[in-house]
Amino acid sequence: MCRSGKNFRLPGYVGYYLGPAAKKFVLITTFLTFSFSLLIYLSLGTEFLKTILVSFFPFINWTSGIIFLGLWLFLNLPLLTKSEGTGKLNLVLSFGLLIVFFVIIVYALPHFKTANLNLFEFSGAFGWFIPYGVIFYALNGMVGVPEAINLLKARQVGLAGLKKIIIWGTLIPLICYFLFIFAVNGVSGANTTLEAISGLKHILGPGIVIIGSALGFLAVATSYLIFAAYIKKSFLNDFNWSPFISYFLVIFGPLLLYLMNLANVEKLVSFMGGMLGGFEGVMLVLVLNKSKRENNQNNNSQSLPYNLPLNRFIFSFLIIALVIGAICQTFLVY
């Protein structure tokens, strides 16, 4: 975006730097990636919201299908408004997410035992690759970068601080993830559950389940808004589709997948992070390499807010690592 001056997303830059054939191919992965991502967030949000509703209103027969539809409507309504509305709602939810996150950490500290820690026990020949897709998926912040650039431009403050925003925007979630994993595993140990929260119930009491569900709900709600806004703008700007088609696909894509009974969250997250995430990583590296070469030829490097080192060794290492990770995650682990 800084080099080309175009307000594209990844598919648009693939077409701009790698050609129309590559752009058409990445359209398929873009649609699958973000449709399945939105489905994952809606499915997780449904379970978290159901736990909260059952705790406060046990006399009502809450069904997952009804909650899913209600959450789908709630999270998609801001998309029909101006982008400022989505951004403000996301900001409020993000602050709530941080508050609940630290409440759980403080709540868990008195019950923390180092003997419970078993963070690195992965069995099997490819055991170390098991969390690869999930971790890749969790730390993939590509969708937030264009929004940060547009926000800086809208406020007319320049792009000098973009590098710090990207660095801190990556480090803060990484630190929060680590602290949360460390705290939960130190409390529940071998009894740590897939979603992390229910395993704490017998130690910290039923109240932690409600607090943890609130944390989970806020996390998936904020992620949904960011992803949905990203793919909506990709359809509008990268492919020049009409607003009706763009909004229709973003809003009804995950609902159609849900009705097709494709909401196995654990397998979807691993596949999304490992295979599709790895593919998008490869395309991103190829785009970065091509844009840097063109930029160096035009001597425009000095005008950029920051410049990433990408020599032949780093380029080759990233491509090989992403491809091997995708293969191992998709074909060897599961």
Per-residue pLDDT band for 67 (boundaries 50, 70, 90) equals very high
Does 4 map to a domain? no
Q: Print the domain residue range for 243.
A: 10-333
Domain count, the chain: 1
Q: What confidence tens digit (pLDDT) does each residue in 92-143 have? A: 777 777 787 788 888 888 888 887 776 555 544 444 445 555 566 666 667 6
pLDDT of 54 reads: 86
pLDDT of 215 reads: 80
- Listing DSSP states for 93-136 in one string gives HHHHHHHHHHHHHHHHGGG--GGG--TT---STTGGGTTHHHHH
Nearest to 100 by CA among 221, 224, 225, 212: 212
Does 261 map to a domain? yes
Does 224 map to a domain? yes
Does 2 map to a domain? no
Q: What confidence tens digit (pLDDT) does each residue in 263-310 have? A: 566 566 666 666 666 777 788 888 888 877 776 666 555 566 666 677
Q: Please, which residues have CB within 8 angstroms of residue 166's CB and are 6 or more apart in sequence?
A: 141, 145, 148
pLDDT of 68 reads: 92
Mean pLDDT value of segment 11-15: 81
pLDDT of 283 reads: 83
- What CATH number corresponds to the domain at position 293? 1.20.1740.10
**On the CB side of 109, how many CA atoms lie within 13 Å of its CA?**
7
Report the sign of the C-alpha dihedral through residues 95, 159, 319, 230, in that order.
positive
The mean pLDDT of the chain is: 76
Q: What confidence tens digit (pLDDT) does each residue in 241-272 have? A: 888 888 888 889 888 888 887 656 656 666 66
Does 157 map to a domain? yes
Does 271 map to a domain? yes
